[in-house]
Amino acid sequence: MSSQTSDQLFARALQLIPGGVNSPVRAFRSVGGSPFFVKAARGATLITADDRELIDFVCTWGPAIHGHNHPRIKAAIATALESGTSFGTPNPYEVEMAELITRLVPSIQKVRMTSSGTEATMSAVRLARGFTRRDKIIKFSGCYHGHSDSLLIKAGSGALTHGHPDSAGIPASFARETIVLPFNNAAALAAAFTAHPDQIAGVILEPYIGNVGFIPADPGYLAAVRQLCTQHGALLIFDEVMTGFRLALGGVQQLEGITPDLTTLGKIIGGGLPVGAFGGRADIMDHLAPLGPVYQAGTLSGNPLALSAGIASLRLLEELNPYARLDALGQQVREAVLSAAKAKGIPVQVPQRGSMFSVFFTATPIRDYDSALTSDAALFGRFFRACLDGGVYLPPSAYEAYFLSTAHEGAAIDRACDVISAALRSL
C-alpha cells in the first residue's frame, strides 16, 4: 500500500483518471480543495493517506450501515475467498441471497442480481418496457437512478452537483421517451398520464429521495402514485438502491405500506462489495431471459464473494434490527444542527428519517427539486470544510444524503455533533 500523501496520490491520479476520480461526486469540485485519499476504514472512522482520522457521514454512500470493516462481514468474505472468487456458474450464495431478499421484501417474488445499482435500474426500466410494450418512462426531478441513458435526465447526485443534470451524449430521441415531473405532486403525475394515454411503461422514483439531499415523500403521495400507476396500467418501480434495508428491513415500501411492481436494490445488499438487484412480481420477472423476451445479463452477477458480504450484512440487520437506534442517532444530529443554526441565526432545513438526513441552508421547507435548489450551496461548501477541518467528513456536495451507522453510537456521534455545532457557529 502506498505511503504517499493524498496530494501526491491525487497528482498521479489526475494524469491517468478523468478528474482524478472514478466517480465524479468524489472530486470535491463543488466544495473546493482536493479530495483526500483513504487507506483504511473501521467502524465510524476513515483513516486517510495523511494519517488523519475522520468520522464518516458518507458510509461509502450507504452500504456501511454496520460501520466499516465489520468483523462479521470480513469473516464471511474470508470464508468465501477460500473457495475462489468467481465461477461463472450458479452458486449457493445466489440462492441464499434470493431467499433473504424475497423474505424480507415481500413485494419481491423473484429477483435478479446485478453488479451495481445502475444496472439494476436500467434493467428494471427495460423490463417495464418489454412487459407493457410501451416506450415512455416517468421519473422525477432530482431523483438519481444511476447513469443509464434513459434515467440520466434531470438527475440528482453528482450530475446535479456538477451542473449537468441532463448529461451530454444522450440522443434527443432517447430523452424524448423520458418524462420528468416534480416530486411530491400527484396532480402533475395524473396530468402526465392524461397527456400520454396508454404510453407510459413505468414510473420510477426514489420513494424518499436521497440524491438531491434527503427529501421524504409527503403523507399520501406514494399511495397516490400507486393508484395512478394501477389505473393507467403503468408499472410502479421503487428505486430503493439507497433506502432499501437503510430505513427499515423492508425498505420505504414497508414504512409506507405500498406495494410496487418492481424494486431496485444495491449498496447495503453488497456489504461494501459491488452488488445490485432488481425484482418484483413473478409474472413480470418471468419476462426476463432465458424465460422471456427481455434480455439482461452480467459476467459477475451473483458473484460469490460479493454476495457473501451482502448476506452477512442482511443477516446482521435481521439479528440486530437497529432501526430505532439509527433513528435516535439521526435525531441527535438533527437537534444539534437546528440548535446551533438557530443560535447563529442561520436558516436551515434538516429533513431526517432514521440514519438518513441532509442539511439545507434555506428558510424554504424542502419538498422537491426546486425547493432544494434554494439552499445556499456556497454556504454549504464553507460548512463542509469547517466540518472536515474539525474531523467530520460530510458528503462533498450540497445535494446528497448523509448516512450514519450503528458504529456511530456513543463517542463518535457525540464528537461529531460537537464538531458540526462548532462549524455552524464559525460560519
Interface residues for ligand KE4 in 232-251 (CB under 6 A)? 239, 241-242
If one asks whether residue 396 binds ligand KE4 (CB under 6 A), the answer comes out as no
**Region label for 269, one of left (φ > 0), alpha (ψ between -120 and 50) or beta (otherwise):** alpha
Nearer to ligand KE4, 221 or 402 (CB): 402
Shortest distance in whole angstroms from residue 145 CB to ligand KE4: 5
Strand order in the sheet with 352-353: 352-353, 356-357, 402-403
Q: At residue 419, what is the residue type? A: V
If one asks whether residue 158 binds ligand KE4 (CB under 6 A), the answer comes out as yes
Interface residues for ligand KE4 in 25-84 (CB under 6 A)? 25, 61
H-run or E-run covering 262 = strand 262-265
Nearer to ligand KE4, 45 or 157 (CB): 157
Nearer to ligand KE4, 209 or 340 (CB): 209
If one asks whether residue 400 binds ligand KE4 (CB under 6 A), the answer comes out as yes
Lookup: cell for 21: 476520480
Lookup: cell for 373: 435548489
Lookup: cell for 84: 475462489
If one asks whether residue 273 binds ligand KE4 (CB under 6 A), the answer comes out as no
Cβ proximity of 77 and 419 under 8 Å: no
Backbone phi, then psi, for 27, in 5-degree steps? -85, -5
Nearer to ligand KE4, 117 or 330 (CB): 117
Nearer to ligand KE4, 151 or 333 (CB): 151
Stretch that binds ligand KE4, among 114-122, 287-295, 329-337, 407-415 (CB under 6 A): 114-122
Lookup: cell for 51: 494519517
Q: Is 144 a catalytic residue?
A: yes
Shortest distance in whole angstroms from residue 363 CB to ligand KE4: 25
**Nearest 10 degrees: Cα torsion 302, 305, 308, 310:** -70
Shortest distance in whole angstroms from residue 226 CB to ligand KE4: 19
CB-based contacts of 253: which residues, under 8 Å, 6+ apart? 105, 107, 207, 238, 240, 259, 260, 263
Q: Considering CB under 6 A, how many residues would be counted as binding ligand KE4? A: 21
If one asks whether residue 145 binds ligand KE4 (CB under 6 A), the answer comes out as yes
Please select the residue that binds ligand KE4; options are 2, 23, 79, 227, rule is CB under 6 A.
Answer: 23
Nearer to ligand KE4, 155 or 329 (CB): 155
If one asks whether residue 144 binds ligand KE4 (CB under 6 A), the answer comes out as yes
State the catalytic residue, choosing from 267, 368, 393, 399: 267
If one asks whether residue 118 binds ligand KE4 (CB under 6 A), the answer comes out as yes
**Taking each helix axis from N to C terminus, what angle separates 304-320 and 71-82, rounded to the nearest 10 degrees?**
150
Q: Is 267 a catalytic residue?
A: yes
Cβ proximity of 144 and 156 under 8 Å: yes
Nearer to ligand KE4, 131 or 278 (CB): 278
Q: Is 393 a catalytic residue?
A: no
Please select the residue that binds ligand KE4; options are 30, 45, 116, 406, rule is CB under 6 A.
Answer: 116
Closest CA to 265 of 287, 283, 238: 238
What Å distances lie between residue 128 and 32, 179, 263, 275, CA to CA? 41, 15, 11, 21
State the catalytic residue, choosing from 93, 144, 208, 369: 144
- What DSSP string runs through 103-116? HHSTT-SEEEEESS
Shortest distance in whole angstroms from residue 310 CB to ligand KE4: 13
Cβ proximity of 258 and 240 under 8 Å: no
Closest CA to 323 of 245, 256, 390: 245
String marking each residue 172-211 x if it binds ligand KE4 according to CB under 6 A: ----------------------------------x---xx
State the catalytic residue, choosing from 136, 154, 221, 239: 239
Residue nearest ligand KE4, CB atom distance: 117
- What DSSP string runs through 357-397? E--B-SSSPP-SHHHHTTS-HHHHHHHHHHHHHHTEE--SS
Shortest distance in whole angstroms from residue 167 CB to ligand KE4: 13
Helix (H, G, I), strand (E, B) or coil at 349: strand
Stretch that binds ligand KE4, among 113-121, 188-196, 254-262, 368-376 (CB under 6 A): 113-121
Cβ proximity of 110 and 280 under 8 Å: yes
Shortest distance in whole angstroms from residue 158 CB to ligand KE4: 5
**Region label for 271, one of left (φ > 0), alpha (ψ between -120 and 50) or beta (otherwise):** left
- Which residues of this chain interact with ligand KE4, rule CB under 6 A? 23, 25, 61, 116-118, 121, 144-146, 157-158, 206, 210-211, 239, 241-242, 266, 276, 400
Active-site annotation, residues = 144, 239, 267
